[in-house]
Every structure is written in C-alpha cells, then in structure tokens.
C-alpha cells in the first residue's frame, strides 16, 4: 500500500518519526524537499547495507512524480523490505497541494 500526500503531511505535522528516502538526484533534492535522506535512485543498490536496519520498519520513498520511487519500492521489496510505501504523485503532487 502506498501513501498519499495528505496522509504524509498529516504525519509530518504530527511530528511522527518517519523513515523517508528521496530517490531524486542531489540537485533536485536541493531545489525542494520534504526532509528525509537523499539517496539517488542509482545509488540505492549499493546502499542496501546502510538500509538494512529498516527492512521491517515503515519506509517511505519519494521522487518527482512517483515513477522512480515506485521502481525503488519494488526493488526494495524484492530485497526483503516488508513495509515500503511510495508517495503517490511525488513532489509534483506535494507542491500542487501546498
């Protein structure tokens, strides 16, 4: 199951501790981001060891439109991650609702 912009905004507003990964490129992250760790999509496979502690925890991934993060969600799930959510619509949807 994925997460909507509204659901994520509510959780961030409530100051919940959430594991968020921005899979966009560094320059995209620097232009606008909602927090979370920036690991560009191409670097995720080599960073699996770093993410190991999150395998069974909720992990929310996002990108510009939801496409790259959707692919990363599938990749992480195929590597044993059990609770990955993609931010529907990505940063485009986030900015539209701001």
Structure tokens at 50: 């770093």
The dotted CATH code for 5-96 is 3.40.250.10
Question: Does 63 participate in catalysis according to the annotation?
Answer: yes
d(CA 26, CA 3): 23
pLDDT digits (tens, 9 = 90+) for 23-55: 999 999 999 999 999 999 999 999 999 999 999
Q: Catalytic one among 63, 72, 87, 93?
A: 63
Q: Check: CB of residue 89 under 8 Å from CB of residue 5.
A: yes
For the chain, domain boundaries: 5-96
Residue 7's pLDDT band (cuts 50, 70, 90): very high
Q: What is the pLDDT of residue 98?
A: 76
């Amino acid at each position: 199951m994925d997460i909507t912009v509204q659901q994520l905004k509510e959780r961030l507003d409530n100051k919940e501790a959430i594991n968020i990964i921005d899979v966009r490129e560094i320059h995209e992250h620097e232009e606008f981001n909602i927090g979370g760790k920036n690991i560009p999509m191409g670097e995720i496979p080599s960073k699996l060891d770093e993410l190991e502690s999150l395998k069974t925890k909720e992990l929310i991934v996002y990108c510009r439109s939801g496409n790259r993060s959707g692919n990363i969600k599938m990749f992480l799930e195929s590597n044993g991650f059990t609770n990955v959510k993609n931010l529907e619509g990505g940063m485009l949807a986030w900015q539209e609702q701001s």
